Amino acid sequence: MNVKKDNDFYLRTAFGLLDRDSDGHVTPAELQFMLRNLGIEVSDDLISDLIKDASKTGNGLIDENDFMQWVTKIQALQGLDVTTSGGDSEEEITRDLLAAFKVFDRDDNGYITRDELQAALEMIGEPVTDAQLNQVLALGDIDHDGRIDYEEFVKMLL
């Protein structure tokens, strides 16, 4: 696969996870739910602004096309220098990523298995279908060994 095809696959997978009821649209409630489960508290006003920015139809919903264009725009902006933003240090980010990995790696063997992934997602109130679980594993399991190691986990999140 080339980089564009990989990116499209990952974006479609992410959209599928956001679209909890599989109706082809992400609602403000679905976006808010996912962000809260990731530990990101966002006001309803900001959610509304994000949806407005992403939705080309102005109907308050994001379809897959809108989502892909929106995230591609964000990815392009990431190329800007953000080192002066006053954000977390590299050490803090590494510590947070390792802590997050350990939440999923319940037996502490250095890998996240399918069962561990499913248990962790259910624990945070995000029950997933087998198809969604397969999508997440396909997204993260770069070496196709059936499990996600720490490096793959970090690449999936960053």
Total residues found in the chain within this entry? 158
CATH dotted code for 90-157: 1.10.238.10
What integer pLDDT is reported at residue 77 of this predicted model? 65
Would you call 8 helix, strand, or coil by DSSP?
Answer: helix
As a whole number of angstroms, the distance between CA 117 and CA 121 comes to 6
pLDDT given for residue 145 in this prediction: 95
The answer to whether domain 3-77 and domain 90-157 are alike in fold is yes
Domain segments of the chain as ranges:
3-77, 90-157
Radius of gyration of the chain (CA): 16
CATH of span 3-77: 1.10.238.10
Q: What's the pLDDT at 94?
A: 79
What's the rounded Cα separation, in Å, for the pair 109 and 149?
Answer: 9
Q: ∠ CA 85-88-90 to the nearest 5 degrees?
A: 110
Q: Kind and range of the H or E element at 26? A: strand 25-26
Distance CA 62, CA 26 (A): 5
Q: What is the pLDDT along the chain (158 residues), one digit of tens a residue?
A: 465 677 778 788 888 888 888 899 999 999 888 877 777 777 888 888 888 888 888 888 999 999 888 887 776 765 543 444 445 567 777 777 887 888 788 898 999 999 988 887 777 667 788 888 888 888 889 999 999 999 998 888 76
3-state DSSP assignment of residue 41? coil
Q: Full-prediction pTM beyond 0.85?
A: no
Residues whose CB is less than 8 angstroms from the CB of residue 43 and which lie 6 or more positions away in sequence, other chains included: none
